[in-house]
Amino acid sequence: MTNANSCESLYDWYRVASKAEWQNLIDVQATYKSAESVGNFTVFNIKGNHYRLIVDLVYNRQTIYIKYILTHAEYDKENWKNDAYF
């Protein structure tokens, strides 16, 4: 990721997500309407849909693993779907 101004948007997401007590995707979508489940990951739109944040949410441990931060174009190439965990 080369666009430095995405950092503020990512930090905003982090501030909210680190305090959230999500139990399922419906809880996530109450906070982030565009969040979606893709494979074993949850995908968030960041900075007005310019970036995709791909995470593994472990609800029962209240843990978030950030897997990928991609531009929209990188996301569309779907190379991230080659991840063994996908």
Note the pLDDT tens digit of each residue in 64-74.
999 999 998 99
Please name the residue ranges forming H helices in the chain. 6-17, 25-31, 72-77
Domain boundaries, given as residue ranges, for the chain:
6-77
Beta bridge partners of 68: 54
Note the pLDDT tens digit of each residue in 36-73.
999 999 999 999 889 999 999 999 999 999 999 999 89
Q: What are the distances in angstroms from CA 57 to CA 2, 46, 66, 73, 77?
A: 25, 17, 9, 23, 23
Secondary element (H or E) of residue 67: strand 63-71
CA gap 75, 52 in Å, rounded:
7
The tokens describing 73, both together, are: 């174009």
